[in-house]
Amino acid sequence: MKKFRILIKYEWLNFRADRGLLILSLLTLMAGLYGIYYGNTEIVRQRENIADLAQLTEHNIDELKQKYPGEVEAGDIGYYHSTFAVNHPDSWAGLSLGQRDVNPYYIRLRLLNLQSQLYDTENINPLKVLSGNFDLAFVLVYLFPLFIIGLSFNLLSVEKEQGTLPLLLSQPIGLPLIVAAKLVFRIMLVLGLALLLSLIAMLWAGVVPDVRIALWLGVVVLYCLFWFGLAFGVAAMQQNSAFNAVTLLGLWLLLTVVIPALLNVYVAVKQPVPQALALTIEQREEVHAGWDKPKQETMERFYARYPQWRDTTEIEGRFAWRWYYAFHHLGDVAVEDLARQYQGGLLARHELVDRLNVMSVPVNVQGIFNALAGTDLPAHLAFMQSASHYHDSLREFYYPYLFKQVAFTHADYEKEPRHSFSSGPDLDTAFSGIVKVLLSVIFVYVLGVLFLSLKETVVK
Amino acid sequence: MQYILEAKRLCKQYQDKLALKDLNLQIRPGEIFCLLGQNGAGKSTTINLFLGFLKPTSGAAYIKGLEVASNLTKVKEYLAYIPENVMLYPNLTGLENLSLFSSLAGFEYSKDELMRYLLQAGLPAEAASRRVGGYSKGMRQKVGVAIAVAKHAQVLLLDEPTSGLDPKASNEFSELLLGLSASGTAIFMATHDIFRSKEVGTRVGIMREGELVDVLSAAELNANELEKLYLNYMHV
Amino acid sequence: MIRTIAKKEFISTLRDRRFVSLSLIVLLLLLSATIVGLHSYQNLQEEREVAQHTVNEQFANSADRHPHRMAHYGSYAFRPKSSLSFLDFGLDSYTGASVYMEAHRQNSANFSQAQQSTSLIRFGEMTVAFVLQMLLPLLIIFLCFGAFTQEKENGTLKLLLSQGVSLRQLAWAKVSGYSKVVALVVAPALALASLLIFGRGAFALDGDLLLRLLLFILFYGLYFFVFVVLSVVVSALHQRSSTALVSLLGIWILFCILIPKASANLGANLYTTPTRAQLDADVHAEVVKGIDGHNSQDERAEALKQELLKKYGASSLDQLPVNFDGIWMAVGEEQSSKVYQKHFNRLMGIFQKQNRISEWAALLNPYLAVRHLSMGMAGSDFGHYVDFQQKAETYRYHLAQELNHIQATQLRYGDKETRLSSATWGAFEPFEYDTPHASWALANHMISFLGLLLWGIGICIGGMRLIDNTKIV
């Protein structure tokens, strides 16, 4: 144990004296801090934008009050008045932005048919989203493995190449102790940095303290250990530094780039979601056909779903708002199945990826981070669901005015329901993901020990 | 136990080459055994087998009666090693390198003591606290000597330790070996230097193609005779 | 002399089993990326073609309708994949595929691939461009890192120099030898891609496509050349192979991973993108000041009314020889489009400012330069995306205005009942998108083009000067 401490101490002295390694560590630290800053500003900006939406709604109401100083038909309000369904970011979202920059975090809704409004997108710069987010999750998932590789690719080979191994081994210590000391020193350094960055990020974001702190830190530890396991396994093959560097970088490339890209292709083929374009075409056709169908037929179809309004007055004349909104809603009803299939298809994609991510630990870990931060596809689908329900409640709010032909007054604006939804974590995905990471870690270490024991140590 | 260093029918077979054939050898404390032979004769193989860096194909090497292959860590408490070309951690100073290796061997020296070992080995005082990266080969070799001396080992294994040293340093080194030998340290040295072998060695072994072909007592011959004998063996 | 050494490098590389197997892997990835890309391209293209055809048919065969109803019925523009986009998906996966084109309102382009994916897509996509941009430089680094260091370690450098070879000659010999090896790896895949493009008749053989493909190949050739020379120079500056390799891998990580992401993120951080909701509200606010097609109480509508009444000497709108409804909506559409264009251009200006950081970074980073140029040639860059949106908007505007014109000339004022026959809609030209010319695409990327060119020239001049100073002993 004493020798172990001595070895660690000299690892530290060596590290301290190596300018390259110091720069590498400093760069990693700075990248981590920038990642935290970036993720946080992005979420702060989203929060500000969401806060501004309430003002836009207020403006819209003021404008309508001006336009209709007295009582007005609710149908006019439903047509000109827009509110927002909003997806508040979780307090963790800044740590792992996930798909929050690609998917809209609010949906502008009017009383018109839902399906033509649900998929509108936010202004996004495609080049920026293609390049991806430089958040803490990116630093941990992509850059930390590179940091670990940079620290460990010549774990053992450097001793051979600089010729110190014979002298070192002529002392009363074994090779396993030397390798262990080197690994432990590097693990302490990397974990120290990774955990420090995670804690800074949590404090900065002001996360709600719950089980996720333990889960996040646990995943970070396991993920770093996984990469150290790979570095250990490669070191155990006892090749030269150049071979180790190329092999480790190759593994990194395979796990973080090639396998995910191939999985993406596989998922797209295996689980296509072609209904989107059909859905959008179909709902337009349904809604606009509403104008040309006999009104009574439209209303009958509507009453079949909402019998409570059957006894209201019959539609006369060319136009009535309640008829207009009825056929708009029937447009939604007509594509209900397609919409369900579309969202179901997306969810199935997510589940397929969830099953396949055993093939790449980085994909799995990114998935866990996004699940913890509530920023992945399921969180967005939950928001879409919530937005649909909000649209339902809007309709239910307006129907009494429309069908009982009650005039809409200025006081009624306040009674209109407002929407709020916060993305939550998906702890089940996180738990099952962690189990998989743990298994991967055990697997690589067993493999590494196997390599080390099979291969005879060649000192020179 | 009388022999500090012993080899019994020690063999090392590489894939296509028999590097060491049936080596039998006994060395007592205080002896200086010089092993002569051409490049590739099996001198370094012998030393690496005593160090446990190589596993013997058959037979065994013993240090203080302990079989090397099954006591890899234990035997290293008794021996010190100076390679042909001493390589050290380039980013650490000479002092730090010495301190590292000494403490791994179980010796905690004060800075003054460490300094004394370095000076004794002939390293200039100003160099001791510079990084080893800037040392010449001779300076590194001196740190290697200091590491070996500071270990107070009972056996010293040397792999052509004087190659690349200037005559003055080489001479100082010989003095050092004689001093260590006088205090009871056994020294096993692979070398090309016939004259120095004659000068310091108590016994001289001649090795050819993996075989120890002759062992001579240094007292029996003068240097010129030794050279003639050596060349004779080589030309057969 | 140069030729002898180049030949030696070429032959000894081909005899290196490790390198050959790595090259085979890269070649295999390249070939599979070509096939996967083409497959995905054909799927998306077919889906969009079918959708476009469907909506075109629906429009042409619409029931008898009032023209303004038809204006609200509108149409869709589905963005066709550009022919070469199967080599480089570029931004295509992140840009919307369909735009709903209706009267009074400019809609966003919806249903991007990225929105239909899990975060898996953010790890990158397997395309030919990806292999060429990211993996080939790695292969080149692996090929060249020992160019000089190995000669130093073996001591052969001194021998070579003592035979009268200069350092520069040696460097050029190595560059030319390695370039041949790289060409050997890349050429089969590019040949296959070209064959797939032209041979199978998947696309019509036209000059523009050929030019784009040639430029595509040319840019990558230059990119690889830069990496080969860079690797040889770095190798010359090091004493040991392992440190040369580590330096080169560090450069690769910086060029291909860190800078692209950091520059894009920094741009977005520096210039705030207004939200769609804010933009819509701003457009609306500005339009309300003028004429709103549905708001006859507006002052300017009143002014127009008076002007028309005066012009035709009529006392009420019924007596006008033209339909006031149609005219006022046409004027409204004109105004709101103008306002929208202004805001849209401002938004695109912000995006361009954000992207400018990456573009300038291309001067420092050949990876970014080739990435921009590659997307540009493949027709999957920002410029092509904006061009599509603009053309869809133009079509939308003309569609709305033609329908307004029909209303103004064929229907009477206040007539909300008359339905024009289905044949009227059949006369409308459907939306068709043509990819702009290659020179237009290139002009969008002048900075990147300059960057790549400067790298090519700079590395030859500056790099060789550095090689002159390499330590031999």
pLDDT in tens, C209-220: 889 999 999 999
Question: Residue A216: its pLDDT value, please?
Answer: 97
Question: Residue A312: its pLDDT value, please?
Answer: 77
Residue B72 clears pLDDT 70, i.e. is over it = yes
**3-state class of A342 per DSSP?**
helix
Dist CA C377 CA B101 (whole Å) = 61
The partner residues of B13 in beta bridges, in order of sequence, read: B18
Residue A34 Cα, gap to closest chain B Cα (Å): 31
Q: How confident is the model at residue A189 (pLDDT cuts 50, 70, 90)?
A: very high
What does the pLDDT average to over A326-352?
Answer: 91
Give percent of chain A with pLDDT exceeding 90. Answer: 69
Asked whether the beta carbons of B5 and B29 are under 8 A apart, the reply is no
Inter-chain CB proximity A260 and C382 less than 8 Å: no
Residue A14 Cα, gap to closest chain B Cα (Å): 6
C-chain residues within 8 Å CB-CB of A121? Answer: 96, 108-110, 112, 115, 276
Asked whether the beta carbons of C132 and C33 are under 8 A apart, the reply is no
Residue B50 Cα, gap to closest chain A Cα (Å): 10
What does the pLDDT average to over A251-276?
Answer: 88
A355 phi, psi to nearest 5 deg: -75, -35
Dist CA C169 CA C192 (whole Å) = 35
Compare CB distances from C277 to A84, A126, A264 and report the shortest one's residue: A84
Q: How confident is the model at residue C199 (pLDDT cuts 50, 70, 90)?
A: low
Residue A19 clears pLDDT 80, i.e. is over it = yes
Question: Residue C17: its pLDDT value, please?
Answer: 80
Residue A343 tokens read as 């969202």
User: What is the residue-averaged pLDDT of chain C?
Assistant: 88
Domain ranges, ordered by start, for chain C: 2-468
Domain ranges, ordered by start, for chain A: 2-281+324-454
- For the entire predicted model, the pTM comes to 0.89
Residue B128 clears pLDDT 70, i.e. is over it = yes
Asked whether the beta carbons of C460 and C229 are under 8 A apart, the reply is yes
Is chain B in touch with chain C: ≥3 Cβ pairs within 8 A? no
From the number of C-beta atoms within 10 Å of its C-beta (0-12, 13-18, 19+), residue C413 rates as middle
Residue C122 Cα, gap to closest chain A Cα (Å): 7
B37 phi, psi to nearest 5 deg: 165, 160
Question: Residue A274: its pLDDT value, please?
Answer: 67
**3-state class of B82 per DSSP?**
strand
Q: How many Cα atoms within 13 Å fall on the side-chain side of residue A378?
A: 22
C-alpha distance from residue C134 to each of A132, A258, C98, C356 (Å)? 16, 11, 31, 22
CA angle A372, A375, A377 (to 5 degrees): 115
Dist CA C101 CA C107 (whole Å) = 7
Residue A446 clears pLDDT 50, i.e. is over it = yes
- The fold for domain B1-78+189-236 equals Rossmann fold (3.40.50)
Dist CA C419 CA C116 (whole Å) = 40
Summarize pLDDT for B32-69 with one digit per residue, the tens. Answer: 999 998 888 889 899 999 988 888 999 999 999 999 98
Amino acid at C81: K
Dist CA C104 CA C113 (whole Å) = 28
Inter-chain CB proximity A366 and C123 less than 8 Å: yes
User: What is the residue-averaged pLDDT of chain A?
Assistant: 91
Dist CA B117 CA B125 (whole Å) = 11
Question: Residue B223: its pLDDT value, please?
Answer: 73
What does the pLDDT average to over C2-18?
Answer: 81
Question: Residue B2: its pLDDT value, please?
Answer: 75
Most confident of the ranges A66-75, A189-198, A237-246, A290-299: A189-198
Q: How confident is the model at residue C317 (pLDDT cuts 50, 70, 90)?
A: confident
Q: Is A3 on the interface with B (CB under 8 A)?
A: yes
Summarize pLDDT for A387-428 with one digit per residue, the tens. Answer: 999 999 999 999 999 998 899 999 999 999 999 999 989 999
Report which secondary-structure segment, H or E, holds C118: none
Give percent of chain A with pLDDT exceeding 70. Answer: 98
What does the pLDDT average to over B66-85?
Answer: 88
Neighbours of A392 (CB within 10 A): 14
Of the listed ranges A371-375, A386-390, C224-228, C284-288, the least confidently predicted one is C284-288
Of the listed ranges A53-67, A147-161, C255-269, C316-330, the least confidently predicted one is C316-330
Question: Residue C200: its pLDDT value, please?
Answer: 57
Residue C460 clears pLDDT 80, i.e. is over it = yes
Q: How confident is the model at residue B1 (pLDDT cuts 50, 70, 90)?
A: low
Question: Residue C10: its pLDDT value, please?
Answer: 85
Q: How confident is the model at residue A432 (pLDDT cuts 50, 70, 90)?
A: very high
Residue C298 clears pLDDT 70, i.e. is over it = no
Query: Per residue, what are the HEC states of A231-282?
Result: HHHHHHCCCCHHHHHHHHHHHHHHHHHHHHHHHHHHHHHHCCCCHHHHHHHH
Residue C291 clears pLDDT 60, i.e. is over it = no
Q: Contact partners of B by the rule of 3+ C-beta pairs under 8 A?
A: A
Give percent of chain C with pLDDT exceeding 90. Answer: 47
Q: Is A163 on the interface with B (CB under 8 A)?
A: yes
Domain ranges, ordered by start, for chain B: 1-78+189-236
Residue C335 clears pLDDT 60, i.e. is over it = yes
